[in-house]
Structure 1
Amino acid sequence: MDQQKAIFKLCKGLGCCDSCCLRYLGIRYQNAYENAQTFCLKFQDKPANAEKVDQNKPTDISPPSSTSENTVTSETNVSTDDKPTENVTNDESNNVNPGDDTKTDIKMEEDTSNKEDTDSSNGNVATSNGNGSRPAKRRKRDICTSCLGLLQKDGWPECNAAVKEVLDKKQYDSKTFGCGLSAPIATILREKVICLKIKEAFPDFDERSITTLKESWKWAYGPQLAQHIGIALDSGSVSPLLIVLNMEYPDDLQELEILKTLSPDLFESRSRQRKRFTVEFTRRSVEQALEGATLEALTALRWGSVRSADSAASCVSVVCTRTPLYLGGRYIKLSRELPQTPWLLGGKRMMESSVQDIIFEPLAKAYGMSEADADHRLKFMSAGREDVDVRCLGDGRPFAIEITDPRRELTAGELQQICEAVSSTGQVVLKKLVPVTKEDLTLLKSGEENKTKTYEALCIKLAHSKSSDTTQNGTTPITVTDEDISRINSYRNTPEGAPERIALTQKTPIRVLHRRPLLARTRHILDITASKVTGHPQLLVIRIRTTAGTYVKEFVHGELRRTAPSLGDAIGAPVDILALDVTNVQLDWPNKQ
């Protein structure tokens, strides 16, 4: 406890607020920072004549006045509202180095002709104003030299107002929130100097033991913000709503300039890589520059002791975001003139709409999003995709939508209304839309590679054989024979008993080369059956079950032998495809319970 008291007094002498003193003592629980003024009493020497300390008032921890000519004494209030001003002497115990031009935060009243009463709650100095006496003047705010005012209550009303303004505009429906801080980078330099000063006085001090500024800020600022906005404070990793305050300090860049002298190689290297390092000072670069810094090196740069701050850090912006929500379902596509997502070619939309557009429209309306807003806040994901001219029938294709920064969760009734609005278009049918988790998306994406799909293809036989013309002797029409059907239904190029009937080697189809690399891939057909089409002797229907990623169109016509074997190899005649439908995507997603 004696060393803790000594460190507390040293930090006070360096201009730290109560909360920062607790940080350097390694105090790591919330109640201490919520009630820093009261909690700090245990680290202070009580006045000898004090029988009782009123804990609701700032506590004077100044030592008894000295008559020494070398001692200047000023009253110090222990409060998170005002940074205390310690007694300053020329001896080593008060950490003022003779010749050090660092400013010492000492406030002296020039005019002492009138008795003054100090109101610690608002930082005003009130003077007698009767009979023509001079008007009351406001005392200059004492700014913590470590946190630059972030842990002091004076600046919190301004922060609260900024948060409330954003929340009132966005209208989040959330019962809890987590809070985050973007602090001025200069606080890293100031923290380093204070740690070195403590280390100089107490060699066994470990700077890794201090409580981070962000953590102590959450503990100190968060509870009163919760009271102000009427939402319960929770962990940022638990609550869906995160409120981040961006704080800036006017002298940030000016103070950090010394690091270019302290660590010239680092910043010269960053300067040569301007495309990579667009910002001169980052938290990481400042931490790197200060890793091996010594008090002697900083003293040579006139940072032998932490400097007083002429102005406090202030809130320049508030960013409120809610954790993304995810919706899952299965869409049925009835049109042969509808891409899954907007089809852009050379920046030009090739078709009027898409499955994505049709689903997004009522969803964006439910959230009150503009078209531009929906473009960057809604994201479409699916287990594979079908071509523009391919229908997706049966139970449909699994898909999910990510909603960035949602204001609220939609009710089951609202989700059903969205399904009805989508289905009313006659192009897409949406039977169910349900909330899913981020973990569920993993199954969706893995299913894209591991699922199996069943297709139904309408095909046409183009010749009697691969070597013949379209007619035999000019008189016999081309027909699908029973032998053709039998050959397809029994065709296999894998060993008997293998789960796959046909192993294919497929080069990337020419039609998708603009968006996929040219590769030769092995794909499998698990099952295939064929049947004739009544009334159309040249046509046949095949029902085919494949592994993910199989190009069925290319399997039918072979694409100039880029896919081998093809359906034509099974019957010994050229075949082409007229229409294709996906009839089943074997993936239990979303969970059908």
Structure 2
Amino acid sequence: MQSFPTSGVPTPNAKVFVEGRYRKLTRDLPQTVFFCPDCKGHPRRRKGCERCEGFGKLSRDSVQELVGWVLGAAFKTRKNKFHGAGREDVNVRMLGEGRTFVVELLNPKCFEVDLAACEAEINRRNEGRLEVLGLHWTEKTRVAQIKEEQHAKEYRALVRAAAPLDPAKVAALVGPRLEIVQKTPSRVAHRRADMDRQRWIEVTKAELATPAEDGTPQFELVVRAQHGTYVKEAISGEGGSTRPSISELVGSASECVELDVLAILGSEGEAKPTPPPPPSFGAFLDD
């Protein structure tokens, strides 16, 4: 068992950093605690809150909580911070080799922790919802590193169209990179500056899919997109806020009804190598 190097005596204000990757297999799981925007989860204010009905949160749990409950019990602390290398929307699955994260455990009372056993327990408890990979000790410097790195991503999108589709137009989506301009989407306008963003997307697969239950036509895409691209709006166009959009190119108003992250890529869309074995403790001190 690899344990944290320490004298075994709890240190006031100590912090431990554990790194890994997560795969999110469901469409109802936020990355971090989803506190109610009205009561903020406050113990007193949430009692009369109509929006969350006194729960204090808008989701049952999160990646942070499912990972933090197991690590917190092992390290004997209830406090942690979750740092992700980006994040996906609640209803977007994170597949492939997963997304890098660091859990910062605050004031731990125990340091003799078997991270392999923690990883197995997290996966046992959350089979079919969440999987974590490669838990290992890391350093505080990794938090800034994973947050500052820029990565393109590969997505699978199931798209529903408002009008019958021309198969030739759908097939023609596959081709060279498309330069687009995106205004800040309405769904994030409360926390993002209102500005135009130049991004690129590249469709590598486009084909008709089985129609929806009501007969509405659908098609499926595999798309590579630059870091910071709002993929759902790149598909719908959101009333012209993204130009050009997939909707424009296929000649029908379209909406992304399912979205999966298939891979985290390099900044220019190149495939990243398979993650290396976990580094030994202290490997980042000389960086």
Instruction: Give me the TM-score of the superposition, normalised by structure 2.
Output: 0.78
Asked if 1:442 is matched to 2:144, the reply is: yes
Q: Deviations over 1:476-510 (max 9, x none)?
A: xx2x33312232113x5xxxxxxxx1122111111
Q: Determine which of 111, 123, 126 is the counterpart of 1:425.
A: 126
- Runs of 4 or more above 4 Å deviation: 534-537, 587-591
Cα offset, 1:529, TM superposition: 2.4
Cα offset, 1:408, TM superposition: 4.6
Contact 2:179 2:198 in 1 (8 A): yes
Q: Deviations over 1:174-217 (max 9, x none)?
A: 339xxxxxxxxxxxxxxxxxxxxxxxxxxxxxxxxxxxxxxxxx
CA distance in 2, matches of 1:415, 1:174: 16
CA distance in 2, matches of 1:335, 1:409: 32
Cα offset, 1:392, TM superposition: 0.8
Report the equivalent of 1:280.
Answer: none
Q: Determine which of 518, 522, 537 is the counterpart of 2:198.
A: 522
CA distance in 2, matches of 1:519, 1:577: 23
RMSD value over aligned CA atoms? Answer: 2.6
Report the equivalent of 1:583.
Answer: 262
Report the equivalent of 1:389.
Answer: 91
Cα offset, 1:551, TM superposition: 0.6
Cα offset, 1:173, TM superposition: 7.3
Q: Determine which of 104, 107, 120 is the counterpart of 1:405.
A: 107
Bigger Rg over Cα: 1
Cα offset, 1:361, TM superposition: 0.5
Contact 2:173 2:203 in 1 (8 A): no
Report the equivalent of 2:115.
Answer: 415
Higher relative contact order, chain-length normalized (CA < 8 Å, sep 6+) = 2
Report the equivalent of 1:350.
Answer: 58
Contact 1:444 1:589 in 2 (8 A): no
Contact 1:328 1:590 in 2 (8 A): no
Secondary structure of residue in 2 paired with 1:540: strand
Contact 1:173 1:407 in 2 (8 A): no
Report the equivalent of 1:506.
Answer: 182
Within 5 Å, give how 1:96-107 maps onto structure 2.
none
Which residue type is aligned with residue 276 of structure 2? K
Within 5 Å, give how 1:166-205 maps onto structure 2.
174-175=6-7
Cα offset, 1:567, TM superposition: 0.1
Which residue type is aligned with residue 133 of structure 2? K
Cα offset, 1:391, TM superposition: 0.8
Secondary structure of residue in 2 paired with 1:488: coil
Relative distance call for 1:337 and 1:545 in structure 2 (3 A) is same
Report the equivalent of 2:168.
Answer: 483
Relative distance call for 1:459 and 1:591 in structure 2 (3 A) is closer
Asked if 1:553 is matched to 2:232, the reply is: yes
Report the equivalent of 2:76.
Answer: 368
Within 5 Å, give how 1:39-58 maps onto structure 2.
none
- How many residue pairs align between the two structures? 247
Contact 2:174 2:202 in 1 (8 A): no
Which residue type is aligned with residue 96 of structure 2? G
Report the equivalent of 2:282.
Answer: none
Which residue type is aligned with residue 419 of structure 1? E
CA distance in 1, matches of 2:160, 2:274: 37
Q: Deviations over 1:508-531 (max 9, x none)?
A: 111112222222211211444211
Secondary structure of residue in 2 paired with 1:579: strand
Q: Determine which of 328, 350, 366 is the counterpart of 2:19.
A: 328
Contact 1:398 1:590 in 2 (8 A): no
Task: Give the percent of matched residue pairs that are identical in Structure 1 and Structure 2.
Answer: 29
Report the equivalent of 2:220.
Answer: 541
Q: Which has the higher helix share?
A: 1
Contact 2:76 2:108 in 1 (8 A): no
CA distance in 2, matches of 1:460, 1:591: 35
Asked if 1:532 is matched to 2:208, the reply is: yes
Instruction: Give me the TM-score of the superposition, normalised by structure 1.
Output: 0.39
Q: Deviations over 1:144-173 (max 9, x none)?
A: xxxxxxxxxxxxxxxxxxxxxxxxxxxx97
Relative distance call for 1:431 and 1:483 in structure 2 (3 A) is same
Relative distance call for 1:566 and 1:551 in structure 2 (3 A) is same
Q: Which has the higher strand share?
A: 2
Contact 1:459 1:541 in 2 (8 A): yes
Secondary structure of residue in 2 paired with 1:489: coil
Contact 1:338 1:351 in 2 (8 A): yes
Relative distance call for 1:577 and 1:331 in structure 2 (3 A) is same
CA distance in 1, matches of 2:139, 2:90: 29
Contact 1:359 1:422 in 2 (8 A): yes
Which residue type is aligned with residue 24 of structure 2? K
Report the equivalent of 1:592.
Answer: 276
CA distance in 1, matches of 2:112, 2:93: 29
Within 5 Å, give how 1:290-309 maps onto structure 2.
none
Gaps of 5+ in 2: 41-55, 267-271, 278-287
Relative distance call for 1:402 and 1:425 in structure 2 (3 A) is same
